[in-house]
Structure 1
Amino acid sequence: MKILYLTKYTRMAGSSRMRSYQYFPYLERSGMKITVKPFFDDDYLKDFYAGKKNISTVIKSYLRRFLVLFSVLKYNKVVIEKEIFPFIPAVAEWILKLFGIRYIVDYDDAIFHNYDQSSNPIIKKFLGNKIANVMRYSGIVIAGNHYLAEYAWRSGAKKIEIIPTVIDLDRYPIKANLDSEKFIVGWIGTKTTFEKHLLPCKNWVKELQSQDPNIQFNIVGIREDMDLGKNVKYIQWREKTEVSEILKMDVGIMPLQDSEWEKGKCAYKLIQYAACGIPGVASDVGMNKDVCIDNVTGQIAYEDQDWIDHILFLKNNSLQKKEMGNNARQLVEQKYCIQVTADKWCKILSK
């Protein structure tokens, strides 16, 4: 069976790497032949992460994707990550439907809010229902959480499956609870998510350091000093070292702004922490509370003082921290690992 994956990015981007690329070895072992055609290439991503805009790489991306569409009839199944063409009506998806191609479309965030909540009135008017149409034209919608699944249902999707964003247990060992001088509070992400979600936490991050000088923040994915305090270490993200950096953490945090967009997030940071047996402290937004179960696998923070109190509690209560970490790992083993979800993908693609 030949499968065409139309991903949004190469494996350099976390969303495509976790939602698509990590499954390819499992699918190939089951006898499927995978062809992947990303929309954006590595050059685009390098510019994007560096805060640069390169119009020529964007134009090339649209042309490359257009040419790929002429080959779709050669494949038994087509899997689309989010949409075929960003910021263009769902004409390509409609044409696939006309040709009887019951494509599978996968979502790990609320991309529809790029359109229906756009500040640009033209985008909002002409593309507000775009993703609803993509979902309705599809054979199956794969949703990373219930919020996304509910949108698919309201859009008239014929079939909906919930598959969370997961990790590979073979890559995530359990942290050895060794005594160390510093208590490491960790965060991992991109500059974009840092600026939106962690930077607004600057006040309590600095306050926590002043209350306890033995607390250190490790910020993975940011290289330059962002003025979060003296006890902050900024660490460049690399795929090869991300797990080893997480294993240095004692607590992992995931603050989120409370908005409709964040309700579509799949709590991937928390799943990464939990896979290593590290409890999380997280905002009460979206899927966070499904992974960071309050006082079971971590603690939920509702306001600034909660973050300080919860982190100090976990620092000063090692037995409770260890128990929450063990519970978190068990949760990942049960629900949030590729060892569980790979079979589900194989069954969907084999039908």
Structure 2
Amino acid sequence: MKMLALMKYGDKAASTRQRLLQYVPYFSRSGIEVSYSSLLSNDYLERTFQGQSAPVLSIVTAYLSRAALLLRASQFDLIWVHYECFPYMPGFFERLAELSGKPIVYDFDDAIFHQYDSHPRAVVRRFLGLKLQPLLNAASLCVCGNAYLASYAERFCRRAEIIPTVVDTTVYFPKNPASTAARPLVVGWIGSPSTWRFVLPIVPLLSRLSQELNLKIRVIGAGPQDTVPPNFEFLGWSEEAEVEMIQGMDVGIMPLPDEPWARGKCGYKLIQYMACGIPVVASPVGVNADIVDHGLNGFLASQEDEWDLSLRRLLADSGLIREMGVRGREKVMEKYSLQAYGPRLAALLCDVAGKPLS
């Protein structure tokens, strides 16, 4: 069985790796041959991270290339669409995916519909607020990263399945802890320049704690900063070093505001931390409250005083750090691992395409 996967970004994007590429070995074992095409290149993504704009001609060319690819898509048995085919274009352009006459699987792990229905400009809300509806109506299956996304998909799609964003637990694993007696404890965060804003409200708290408790605050992937507070280290993200940088943390954090876009997040950084045996402190927003068992594998914190208390409690007790880390790892292996979901997703695709599992 041949599947065409239409991704928004190339393999530098976490969503491309998490939602498709890491599953390819499981697909192959089930007889699914994947050809994937990204709309926007890695160069586009790099420019975005650096606050630069891509040349308009390159974007126009990318849209035309995707349209041409969809016109040739009948050679495939299944079409996989991640996010959307044509961002910021009217919904009827999404219907090009139907021309192949083959089953469509729609996949998303962010509340991208809020880019349109909650846009600050009324003209965008009016003309693009329901732009995903034609694509969801046409899809035989919608693969959703969490229940919040599934509740939206079910309005338009005949079948929605929750497949959380998961990690390969043979890649993400606990590192034998070195003695903390001779080094500062490390509180860490991993993300992107666009999500670093979620951390900014607690930076003053982290700064105070870092000086009072002799902590290091590790920030991965936030991009260049004009000023760096004392005891903060800002590290550039790389796929090769990602796991090692996370393993060097003692506590992982995920603050989020309680707003529609954040409720659609899939808690991936929490799963990364916990897979590496690291306890977490997170805002109880969206799926975070499902991933974190308060008091067992981490803490949920809303207000600044709750963040302060939770971090202090963990950082004062190395035994608690270890115990919560073990419980977190166990939960990820059971409920958020590639090993658990790889065979399930492959079986769903074969079912939709009407093909037997190999």
Q: TM-score range by the shorter chain?
A: over 0.9
| CA distance in 1: counterparts of 2:87 and 2:100, whole angstroms | 21
Matched, 1:66 2:29: no
2:104 — aligned with what? 103
Aligned-partner Cα distance in 2 for 1:53–1:223 = 16
Q: Distance in 1 between matches of 2:270 and 2:9?
A: 23
> Which sits farther off after the overlay, 89-98 or 28-37?
89-98
Q: Find the aligned partners of 1:57 and 1:97 in 2 and give their Cα distance.
A: 25
TM-score scaled by length of structure 1: 0.95
Using a 3 Å threshold, how does the CA distance of structure 1 residues 6 and 119 change in structure 2: closer, same or farther?
A: same
Identify which of structures 1 and 2 has the higher relative contact order when contacts are C-alpha pairs closer than 8 Å and 6+ apart.
2
Between 1:127-136 and 1:42-51, the stretch displaced more is: 127-136
Give 1:256's aligned residue. 256
- How is 1:1-351 mapped onto 2 (pairs within 5 angstroms)? 1-54=1-54, 55-97=56-98, 100-153=101-154, 155-180=155-180, 181-194=183-196, 196-212=197-213, 214-225=214-225, 227=227, 229-351=229-351
User: Which secondary structure state, in structure 2, belongs to the residue aligned with residue 164 of structure 1?
Assistant: coil
Distance 1:51 1:5 in 2: 28
For these two proteins, the number of residue pairs brought into alignment is 348
Equivalent position SS for 1:230: coil
Instruction: Report how far residue 227 of structure 1 moved.
Output: 3.9
Q: Shift in Å at residue 229 of structure 1?
A: 2.3
- 1:74, 1:293 → 2: CA distance? 46
CA offset at residue 99 of structure 1?
A: 5.5
Between 1:17-26 and 1:276-285, the stretch displaced more is 17-26
| Whole-angstrom CA distance in 2 between matches of 1:137 and 1:148 | 17
Deviations 1:120-141 (A, max 9, x none): 1111001111123322221100
Pairwise CA distance, 1:96: 3.8
Q: Provide the rounded CA distance (Å) in 1 between the counterparts of 2:175 and 2:291.
A: 18
| Percent of residue pairs identical | 35
Structure 2 residue matching 1:192: 3-state secondary structure? coil
Q: Offset of 1:228 from its aligned partner?
A: 5.3
Q: Secondary structure at the match of 2:167?
A: coil
Task: Indicate if the aligned counterparts of 1:206 and 1:228 stay in contact, CA closer than 8 A.
Answer: no
Mapped partners of 2:273, 2:114: distance in 1 = 28
Is contact 1:205-1:228 (8 Å) kept? no
CA distance in structure 1 between the aligned counterparts of 2:97 and 2:320, rounded to whole angstroms = 53
Shift of the alpha carbon at 1:176? 2.1
Consecutive unaligned residues of structure 2, counting only runs of 5 or more, are 352-358
Long gaps (5+) in structure 1: none
Name the aligned partner's letter for residue 291 of structure 2: V
SS at match of 2:107: strand
What is the rounded CA distance, in whole Å, between the counterparts of 1:286 and 1:103 in structure 2?
A: 27
Question: 2:355 — aligned with what?
Answer: none
8 Å CA contact 1:7–1:38 kept in 2: the answer is: yes
